[in-house]
Structure 1
Amino acid sequence: MAGNTEPLSARSRLAVTAGKAAAAVSRAAGRGSGSVIGGKVALRLDPDLLQRLAQHLDVVLVSATNGKTTTTRLIAEALRANGEVVSNALGANMPAGITSALAGGSSARYGVIEVDEKYLAGVARDVTPKAIALLNLSRDQLDRAAETRMLAEKWREGLSGQKAVIVANADDPLVVWAASSSPNVVWVAAGQEWKDDAWSCPACGGVMQRPGDDWFCGECGFRRPTPSWALAGEHVLDPHGSAWPIHLQLPGRANRANAATSAAVAAAFGVAPQTALERMYAVKAVAGRYDVVGYEGRELRLLLAKNPAGWLETFSLIDSPPAPVILSVNARGADGTDTSWLWDVDYGRLAGHPICVIGDRKLDLAVRLEVAGVHFEVCEDAQDAVRRCPPGRIEVIANYTAFQDLRRAVGN
């Protein structure tokens, strides 16, 4: 556990107060939670505030392209078995948002923090984490994010010599290469459905061989490490070979993988797998993801998918036809303005479902569906789409800002 430290200085206390005031003004103006602007104001007044706020905490950092918000929530629930937790539960995962979150946790024992992939190394320097969970790396927001191999290299450099326990996905070659620079790694066989960003070796550029669930580079010998934790169907296997059942309210294989990684992180803090997994059952939605809401006399399940890897996992949650599906895609700043990723998604998997298309870039999506040979209707908005769908529950899949638009539209 983190040791006792000096109380915040007068400057730091002023920065925290000013940040909270800025956040309150933002909320009152209807501009969101205010966590980002509050953190920016606080850091402007005290650039070292993030480090000061974290000094009394045992910190866990969680980073990935997909699944970091959910995994952060699962780890936080598990660690609450041992003490109070502060977390950026709403997903504000850059330094300003993280600072705002930690400013509200003066009495907490643990800080469980989701971190944007590009900021991981810098945040790790500031908060001296006890553990870092690395889930996956895949292409996302191509207009503003680095290519995946470059991101992995930044992680590798930033984690070199890191004293934290690194809990990393043994099935993602990019994650393995990044984590291998650290002396203390716990490998988890969490799986990797999307493989199209890791066919070349991150170490030498050779072609990756993928027999079964294994992978290796035939040119330099870089290969999958032996995991000590593993997802095995509906169970987590711990380092002693014991199988612990996973009972989640969150659907799908990806969330079972998130739970396996979370159990490994919790174990590093002395929380037994059974206790950790039992506590995770309490999570039934994460920042609106997986919520089922009533709207226009129907039940809508809200699903977030931001990139090809995320869409692939989300399609696996949808039952066989004829369940109607609404798809919504935007291309605003937070989404990335490049929609070329639409062509990497296998929309043919939705064949047979009644499909309605909405969002700022609905025509881009319509062209993609037309080429895939999937029947669809282009609709004006969520209300129009719901009214055109046949009776029954509707699956709604949207990327980031489109998901927020939908939540507001349906009153979630």
Structure 2
Amino acid sequence: MAGNSDPLTPRAKLAVTAGKAVAAASRAAGRGSGSVIGGRVALKLDPDLLARLAQNLDVVLVSATNGKTTTTRLIAEALRAAGPVVSNALGANMPAGITSALAGNSDSKFGVIEVDEKYLAGVARDTDPKCIALLNLSRDQLDRAAETRMMAEAWREGLAGTKSVVVANCDDPLVVWAASSSPNVVWVAVGQMWKDDAWSCPSCGGVMQRPGDDWFCGECGFRRPTPSWALSGDHVLDPHGSAWPIHLQLPGRANKANAASSAAVAAVFGVPPQVALERMYQVQAVAGRYDVVQFMQRDLRLLLAKNPAGWLETFSLIDPPPSPVILSVNARGADGTDTSWLWDVDYTRLTGHPIFVLGDRKLDLAVRLEVAGQHFQVCDSLDQAVQMCPPGRIEVIANYTAFQDLRRRVGN
């Protein structure tokens, strides 16, 4: 890492100042946080700004289809045990948003950065990360994201020969294939609930064999590597075989998996598992996800699910029937405009729950639920759906922009 205490040139300082001014104007106009537009302006003025801002930081990048934002938050909490952290905690994960987050910081030791899958290789080039965490790859935003194997190939080529320590999920064949071009990989076994993007071998196209928790290609011999870290029930097993308890306020198995990966990352920076896992308990909600909010005399738990893998994990969290479930789906730019992924989700898991359907694409979702044999009601608004529910807790599951709409309505 560079020893210079102030790496910013006059041009870079001008870019940071201009970016902050534009972001402030955007916020004042009620157009969101302003982080993306501020970052875009700053990068226009100094295209090397991200590299300059990162050069005095020990950086960890986090990329995946699911779990990026939560894992980034858990790692940031863990690393605060060893020094101040700057992070793009609100999930603005493309170069402009990342630049904006780092520009707000001057004296941090660590940069914990969530990165959109498509931008990983470029951001890695700019930030010279000490560690890169790769959690999973699955289908998402079908109209504009690359097919999953193409994404894995972009990672594989972009990370080939990297000096970073790559912390990777050994249970996802696409992640293993992508990470295998890196000379220094720490394998973590955290499971893979959604397997429908990993039935063919990413290396040769052969059929993947999946006995139990293992996997291998019967044609080319590509196989699951032996992990040095593992999630085992409510514990993380470290490379020495010690079991460390996971205590989280965040619900579900997926978040235990995120914590296990986070503990492996923290160890790369010298933070021991016990300390890392204790600090993760501080995280109650992540950018509104998992929050329970009071609205119209009911308790609404807000859950984000953006793609089939995310919906599958979310269904495993919800209270048992007959707890009411509100589902909201949009198909705006940030969601991906193709809703055919709804047909990949197993909605029979909601049998027995009263279901209420909202969002721009509520009729697409209604057709899908009809075919799945579910009982549901289509509603015009959150207020109407909540009024139809009995007092008590309501599970509210939404994709990206629908989730933001709901947060605005409930004042979260």
With normalisation by structure 1, the TM-score equals: 0.99
Partner of 2:396: 396
Task: Give the secondary-structure state (helix, strand or coil) at the position aligned to 1:62.
Answer: strand
The yes-or-no answer on 1:73 pairing with 2:73 is yes
The yes-or-no answer on 1:283 pairing with 2:277 is no
| Letter in structure 2 aligned against 1:347 | Y
CA contact 1:236–1:246 (8 Å) conserved in 2: yes
Post-superposition CA distance 1:348-369 (Å, at most 9, x none): 0001101100000000000000
Post-superposition CA distance 1:249-285 (Å, at most 9, x none): 0000000000000000000000000000000000000
Post-superposition CA distance 1:63-120 (Å, at most 9, x none): 0000000000000000000000000000000000000000011100000000000000
CA contact 1:2–1:58 (8 Å) conserved in 2: no
Partner of 1:327: 327
CA contact 1:293–1:410 (8 Å) conserved in 2: yes
CA contact 1:294–1:300 (8 Å) conserved in 2: yes
The yes-or-no answer on 1:186 pairing with 2:189 is no
Within 5 Å, which residues of 2 pair with 1:57-136? 57-136=57-136
| Letter in structure 2 aligned against 1:158 | G
The yes-or-no answer on 1:42 pairing with 2:42 is yes
Whole-Å separation in 2 of the counterparts to 1:151 and 1:393: 39
Task: Give the secondary-structure state (helix, strand or coil) at the position aligned to 1:186.
Answer: strand
Partner of 1:232: 232
CA contact 2:87–2:101 (8 Å) conserved in 1: yes
| Letter in structure 1 aligned against 2:265 | V
CA contact 2:7–2:56 (8 Å) conserved in 1: no
The yes-or-no answer on 1:146 pairing with 2:146 is yes
Post-superposition CA distance 1:123-170 (Å, at most 9, x none): 000000000000000000010100000000000000000000000000
CA contact 2:7–2:55 (8 Å) conserved in 1: no
| Letter in structure 2 aligned against 1:319 | D
Partner of 1:353: 353
Whole-Å separation in 2 of the counterparts to 1:215 and 1:137: 16
The yes-or-no answer on 1:318 pairing with 2:332 is no
Any stretches of 5+ residues in structure 2 without a counterpart?
Answer: none
Task: Give the secondary-structure state (helix, strand or coil) at the position aligned to 2:338.
Answer: coil
CA contact 1:85–1:105 (8 Å) conserved in 2: no
Partner of 1:10: 10
The yes-or-no answer on 1:411 pairing with 2:381 is no
Post-superposition CA distance 1:194-252 (Å, at most 9, x none): 00000000000000000000000000000000000000000000000000000000000
Task: Give the secondary-structure state (helix, strand or coil) at the position aligned to 1:24.
Answer: helix
Residue 2 of structure 1: how far off its partner (Å): 5.8
CA contact 1:306–1:335 (8 Å) conserved in 2: yes
Task: Give the secondary-structure state (helix, strand or coil) at the position aligned to 2:392.
Answer: coil
The yes-or-no answer on 1:175 pairing with 2:175 is yes
Residue 7 of structure 1: how far off its partner (Å): 2.9
Residue 320 of structure 1: how far off its partner (Å): 1.5
CA contact 1:295–1:410 (8 Å) conserved in 2: yes
Residue 392 of structure 1: how far off its partner (Å): 1.5
CA contact 1:167–1:264 (8 Å) conserved in 2: yes
| Letter in structure 1 aligned against 2:237 | L
Structure 1 residues 341 and 155: CA distance shift in structure 2, 3 A = same
| Letter in structure 2 aligned against 1:123 | V
Task: Give the secondary-structure state (helix, strand or coil) at the position aligned to 1:343.
Answer: helix
Whole-Å separation in 2 of the counterparts to 1:344 and 1:109: 42
Partner of 1:201: 201
Whole-Å separation in 2 of the counterparts to 1:211 and 1:157: 29
Question: Percent of aligned positions with the same letter in both sequences?
Answer: 85
Residue 5 of structure 1: how far off its partner (Å): 5.2
Residue 6 of structure 1: how far off its partner (Å): 4.9
CA contact 1:57–1:108 (8 Å) conserved in 2: yes
CA contact 1:355–1:375 (8 Å) conserved in 2: yes
Partner of 2:301: 301
Residue 390 of structure 1: how far off its partner (Å): 2.0
Number of residue pairs the alignment of both structures matches:
412
The yes-or-no answer on 1:249 pairing with 2:249 is yes
Whole-Å separation in 2 of the counterparts to 1:131 and 1:3: 20
CA contact 1:141–1:338 (8 Å) conserved in 2: yes
| Letter in structure 2 aligned against 1:366 | A
Whole-Å separation in 1 of the counterparts to 2:178 and 2:109: 29
Residue 184 of structure 1: how far off its partner (Å): 0.2
| Letter in structure 2 aligned against 1:48 | D
| Letter in structure 1 aligned against 2:399 | N
Task: Give the secondary-structure state (helix, strand or coil) at the position aligned to 1:257.
Answer: helix
Whole-Å separation in 2 of the counterparts to 1:5 and 1:54: 12
Post-superposition CA distance 1:296-317 (Å, at most 9, x none): 0000000000000000000000
Partner of 1:343: 343
Partner of 1:221: 221
Whole-Å separation in 2 of the counterparts to 1:5 and 1:44: 24
Whole-Å separation in 2 of the counterparts to 1:196 and 1:120: 23
Whole-Å separation in 1 of the counterparts to 2:12 and 2:154: 30
Whole-Å separation in 2 of the counterparts to 1:4 and 1:16: 18
CA contact 2:7–2:53 (8 Å) conserved in 1: no
Task: Give the secondary-structure state (helix, strand or coil) at the position aligned to 2:299.
Answer: strand
With normalisation by structure 2, the TM-score equals: 0.99
Task: Give the secondary-structure state (helix, strand or coil) at the position aligned to 2:300.
Answer: strand
Whole-Å separation in 1 of the counterparts to 2:264 and 2:203: 26
CA contact 2:297–2:391 (8 Å) conserved in 1: no
**How well do the aligned residues superpose, as a CA RMSD in angstroms?**
0.7
Task: Give the secondary-structure state (helix, strand or coil) at the position aligned to 1:395.
Answer: strand
| Letter in structure 2 aligned against 1:34 | G
